[in-house]
Structure 1
């Protein structure tokens, strides 16, 4: 994976998290980013009324977000303008958007801050405990995904050349699988669809790395519908909802519904986490 591809993927992860943060909390404005070269660049913003937050870069020791990252715990103020407990390096951004209440949740991986998510409101919001718990769940989900990516990157760095070649072949298999699902979605002949399904199973068996569970361990079975697998297979390749809809002949809203349903069945808070869990369960290559 190139650096540009990795950055894009990380930005998508943050964008999903910011949208999920808006959905899970009462705050109308959410934004965030990951640390790169020692500073957090805010790469995703939802619900803003102005462009004041554009270009915000947060140092880990400055502002409310910096304090959250230094202390490795959420920090909140219901009156940002007058708060004496934070530096006000970023007033031009926060006050420019007119935010009064601000919650900062650090993204912590292995005891180190990797980024920060924010939730804000234009008025005072009390009862911080009501919103902090779901906000922390979102941050922890991002941290888990980053931890997985770190481990994959570490293994690729230490793997022999042949292993890297196999990783490239695996991506080709995944592209082939997604294309096969797309073709199958247009087939009405039952016998041909069964043959395509058998090919899909063969591709899954080639990439199946699921660890064998001990005989005494109950294994929960997750069933995805044919369409849910179709959209996840495309999403696994980085396709947007609009691109998936065009590929499968579905409305964008319908694609979103399938993605949400798959996420719910897989108990995943983001589409990236849904893809990862589907792969671990052998539902995707």
Structure 2
């Protein structure tokens, strides 16, 4: 029987729910991302029943909805008698027998993008011991979503191939290329990184520079970091500036530049950039 491959978004949620359970020691953990103001629970760990299946939480409704509206964690040690929340979802929560419940919103740029829950049967003394690590997991998910948002934005803005670009547009293209590589280095999702690499290749071919002749950097292959460093050097940045942008030590930047220059048979960084462009390795 053919099974459907989980999407990167589903995998991110699954990892987050498992991490919340591991770090907080809550016996039950679950969560979901928001679509059209509803967070449909898409991952569940530790449940004893199927009662949580199909749970979809609206913003402002229930404990999770309140957390998403207020953009801060909400908890109750006795869900069944809690008076500070609506009880729209009692059928699901009480059906699983959950008494203690913590809801932590996933917040990106001041907007709730989802919610993570930690729960237990009966009463637990939660306090900051479990809340703090749960908040940390939500923050890590939010950081990954921010990266994905930026990647999607740049993918949407990526121009179609053209025979040549005016000098001003070439400079803008090179800045975008260098920044895209910086973002790509922070992406852990293999599928998303492969898509980024495809956009990088498209950008590298947009400058209209002639392809290399035989013997002129033909067959040269640069490592990812050598390309990252050379792309920023092409913008006129110093070693210190490159190190700051890429999160490297200045000596490491110098080593990568030296390696790239050696591969390209160039005596200066400017010559290396020129040869890399002729070889189609840089825009």
TM-score under structure 2 length normalisation: 0.60
The whole-number CA distance in structure 1 between the counterparts of 2:13 and 2:68 is 16
Q: Which residue of the partner structure matches residue 112 of structure 1?
A: 111
The answer to whether the 8 A contact 1:170-1:207 is kept is no
Q: Which residue of the partner structure matches residue 208 of structure 1?
A: 228
The answer to whether the 8 A contact 2:102-2:118 is kept is yes
Give the 3 Å change call, closer, same or farther, for CA 216–96 of structure 1 in structure 2. Answer: closer
1:228-267 superposed Cα distances (whole Å, 9 cap, x missing partner): xxxxxxxxxxxxxxxxxxxxxxxxxxxxxxxxxxxxxxxx
Shift of residue 203, structure 1, vs aligned partner: 5.0
Q: Which residue of the partner structure matches residue 99 of structure 1?
A: 98
1:148-178 superposed Cα distances (whole Å, 9 cap, x missing partner): 1111111111221239xx975825999xxxx
Q: Which protein is bigger by CA-based radius of gyration?
A: 2
Aligned-residue RMSD, C-alpha: 3.3
The whole-number CA distance in structure 1 between the counterparts of 2:156 and 2:242 is 34
Shift of residue 141, structure 1, vs aligned partner: 0.3
Aligned length: 191
Give the 3 Å change call, closer, same or farther, for CA 35–95 of structure 1 in structure 2. Answer: same
Q: What does 1:30-45 align with in structure 2 at a 5 Å threshold?
A: 30-45=29-44
The whole-number CA distance in structure 1 between the counterparts of 2:196 and 2:113 is 31
Shift of residue 94, structure 1, vs aligned partner: 0.4
SS at match of 1:144: helix
Give the 3 Å change call, closer, same or farther, for CA 131–220 of structure 1 in structure 2. Answer: farther
SS at match of 1:84: coil
Shift of residue 123, structure 1, vs aligned partner: 1.8
The whole-number CA distance in structure 2 between the counterparts of 1:33 and 1:213 is 42
Shift of residue 129, structure 1, vs aligned partner: 1.1
Any stretches of 5+ residues in structure 2 without a counterpart?
A: 162-172, 174-179, 181-193, 202-218, 233-238, 251-283
1:72-102 superposed Cα distances (whole Å, 9 cap, x missing partner): 0000000000001100000010001100000
Greater helix fraction, Structure 1 or Structure 2: 1
The whole-number CA distance in structure 2 between the counterparts of 1:89 and 1:32 is 17
The whole-number CA distance in structure 2 between the counterparts of 1:215 and 1:207 is 12
The answer to whether the 8 A contact 1:104-1:117 is kept is yes
The whole-number CA distance in structure 2 between the counterparts of 1:117 and 1:76 is 12
Shift of residue 216, structure 1, vs aligned partner: 8.3
Give the 3 Å change call, closer, same or farther, for CA 135–220 of structure 1 in structure 2. Answer: farther
Q: Which residue of the partner structure matches residue 73 of structure 2?
A: 74
Q: Which residue of the partner structure matches residue 185 of structure 2?
A: none
TM-score under structure 1 length normalisation: 0.59
